[in-house]
Structure 1
Amino acid sequence: MTVHPFIEAEKQGGHNVKRACELLKVSRTAFYARRTAVPSPRAARDAELTEKITEVHTRSRGSYGAPRVHAALHKDGEQCGRRRVARLMRQAGLEGRHRRRRQRTTIPDPQAAIRPDLVVRNFQPDPTARDVRWCGDITYIPTEEGWLYLATVIDIASRRVVGWATADHLRTELVADALRAACKTRRPDGPVIFHSDRGCQLRFNQSLQHP
């Protein structure tokens, strides 16, 4: 391990370089020669590339990783390897943004009975038919503690969310809670068609009837 950085720090602190070199058994001539040495061609090229890499990374708003930065440099006529770009990005503390892994919320159940499509794929709003056709879906929200699942119930007549529920799981209770919330909020006078994907979460074994 070289002791030149330590001697340099001593010099910056106002200490005697000669004494430091004597204690560390280092030649003062070698120390000063190292301080004034001209960077090697490779080091100079790395510095030049790092500047261009930083420029490309900034233009991408910090989203580009090494492969895309390398492609952008190649398009601009820069001849350099991807590994070199990756190394220089690591040294400069630059990294791209990675897309989160997509979370599946609708899991088809092969054992679920096939139900008729009572809305006949008609999802057009109809202000005169409130609380007649509802549809539901589940989405997911990434948090620091993991995935948060959101189940919603939408009145097709107005495309308004009439009920919702959140949970840290994808069990049937999540959808049931959203439907209970919708029934409590709207209290429909007659029967309501609830349309959703054929996921395993929608296999109800409980009544959701409300007065």
Structure 2
Amino acid sequence: MCRTLTEHGCSIHPSTYYAHKKGLPSAQAARDAELTEVIKQIHRENYNAYGVRKMWAALKRAGHTDVARCTVERLMKAVGLSGAVRGKKVTTTG
């Protein structure tokens, strides 16, 4: 399979093919699963009020200093978490 793809200009390393064939999760997927559980826990502990910025700061305080804010945003969006929304709901006539 790898030889055929290489002949057509799509070089894939054999270890990548076999890792995919085994169905092993990537390093990013494994880390995302771990961080998602931590994010859910912190969100619950803070009365479901923390948005992305406060969640990112809370993760840093909890010792996860190598997490990017955009990663927190992506994971929170994936599990449907959001922060508290301030202000009144706007209603219109019609």
Q: TM-score, normalised by structure 1?
A: 0.32
1:49 corresponds in structure 2 to 35
4+ residue runs over 4 A deviation: none
CA distance in 1, matches of 2:79, 2:89: 29
Opposite residue 57 of structure 1, the aligned amino acid is H
Opposite residue 50 of structure 1, the aligned amino acid is T
Q: Which has the higher strand share?
A: 1
Please report how far the alpha carbon of residue 59 of structure 1 lies from its aligned counterpart in structure 2 after TM superposition.
0.8
2:80 corresponds in structure 1 to 93
Gapped regions of structure 2 (runs ≥ 5)? 1-16
For each residue in 1:182-209, what CA deviation from the matched residue of structure 2 results, as whole angstroms up to 9, or x when unmatched? Answer: xxxxxxxxxxxxxxxxxxxxxxxxxxxx
2:46 corresponds in structure 1 to 60
1:75 aligns with 2:45: no
Q: How many residues align?
A: 73
Q: How does 1:35-184 map to 2 (within 5 A)?
A: 36-78=22-64, 79-100=66-87, 142=88, 145=91
CA distance in 1, matches of 2:89, 2:78: 30
Structure number with the bigger relative contact order (C-alpha 8 A, sep ≥ 6) is 2
Opposite residue 91 of structure 2, the aligned amino acid is E
CA 1:54–1:40 in structure 2 vs 1: closer, same or farther (change >3 Å)? Answer: same
Q: TM-score, normalised by structure 2?
A: 0.69
CA-based RMSD of the aligned residues comes to: 2.0
Gapped regions of structure 1 (runs ≥ 5)? 1-29, 101-141, 147-211
Please state whether the residue corresponding to 1:51 is helix, strand or coil: helix
